[in-house]
Amino acid sequence: MDRLVINDLELNDKRVLMRVDFNVPITDGKVTEDTRIQAAVKSIKKVIVDGGKLILMSHLGRPKGEPNQTFSLKPAAKRLSEILGKEVKMAGDCVGSEVESMVNALNPGDVLLLENTRFHKEETANDGEFSSQLAAFGDVFINDAFGTAHRAHASTVGVTKTIKECAAGYLLQAELENLNKLQEAPEKPFVAILGGAKVSDKIKVIQNLVTKVSSILVGGGMAYTFLKAQKIEIGNSLLDDEHLSLAHNTLVVADNPHPHKKFDFILPSDHTVASKSNMAEFKMNDSVSIADDWMGVDIGSKTIAAFKEKILNAKTVLWNGPMGIFENDNFAKGTMEIANAVAEATAKGAFTVVGGGDSVAAIEKAGIRDKISHVSTGGGASLEFMGGADLPGIMALTKAKKKA
């Protein structure tokens, strides 16, 4: 990459301000799933070993710009202490004289976690004064929060205005290297599997991928908007009515692909459907069309077979979005079958990337997380990057000097 990375920095005896993504689920004051904390540990340990004084910043949830102990990062500090086997000091705020005193008291190898940056409305507004207050705590800055790299906030972009050396952490570096493999020279056949609810969430990804992929497989709620755009009856299935014309235009592009570039755009041909009034009542629907009073909740067996054939013959696979309401075991078959197919493709030598919170939850449920080439920690950031956007949190980092 053309930006500074953590290994480019001299960390010894430096105050190292690091943006991490500790936006983790917390119940009764305890972290219930620590993947995002674990993902930052490599960079954290690097700073500790190199003798840096580490100051961590993160957001948690949406406290709407004011202190709310429901969204306190104290449980994250406790969990990180357990992982590192050493004390992680916890600040009562992320700015102010008390925090400044705690920063000044740090010794090489110490770790301090600042309180939720979103307790201040100035964070999401990327306020200059607030950014300067945060930046004053660091001699160097490391961004290791890929999940927020698409946000131009004070703790991701604002602090870079006054800190001279701003670098990517190991997690951010790995994300970019792996996602760039999909963008630059993916080995063919390249299969993209897209699910989830809204067409609008994935449309830029589809538009960016049409010149790169061999096949796009569409499932989940968004599939019904595409089917409706083809004048197919979808009963009471989820419909992104606002973006129906967008779906139609995408289908036109799929039918008339880029010159000299042929790709398959495959929608479900059958479904599992449930009664709109009683989700406990469900059945197989062998037809592509769905009757009134029924709603599509998963892809059917014919669709699963067609999708699996494409996946198992692929050399590169991107998956973002489940195939149905997989949280309900009655409607999880499609998503689980696709998860296992992606794992099998990996075992056969394919390069596979899974991104998006629901997709990651699906591979966790299927027990195959460690059988995927790369699991992305960034939902919205992954989508925007794959849609061809420049991410503010990355563009703000210091450009690396070109080697002679």
Given the residues 3, 15, 19, 36, the one annotated as active site:
36
Q: Single out the residue of 140, 151, 143, 148 nearest to residue 170, CA to CA.
A: 143
Structure tokens at 292: 């009134």
**Active site annotation includes 36:** yes
Q: Which of 61, 65, 109, 357 is catalytic?
A: 357
Rounded Cα distance between 136 and 215, Å, is 49
Residues forming beta bridges with residue 399, ordered by sequence position = 3
Catalytic residue among 45, 198, 204, 365: 198
- Catalytic site includes residue 62: no
Classify the C-alpha dihedral 98-100-103-105 as positive or negative. Answer: negative
Distance from C-alpha of 259 to C-alpha of 378, rounded to nearest angstrom: 33
Other beta carbons less than 10 A from residue 219's beta carbon: 28
Q: Measured between alpha carbons, how far is 46 from 136 in angstroms, rounded to an integer? A: 22
How many angstroms separate the CA atoms of 375 and 382, rounded? Answer: 11
**CA separation, residue 134 to residues 37, 299, 321 (Å):** 21, 48, 35
Read off the DSSP letter of residue 202: H
List, in order, residues 6 or more apart from 169 with CB less than 8 Å away.
5, 6, 18, 20, 40, 42, 43, 142, 143, 144
**What positions carry a catalytic annotation?**
36, 198, 357, 380
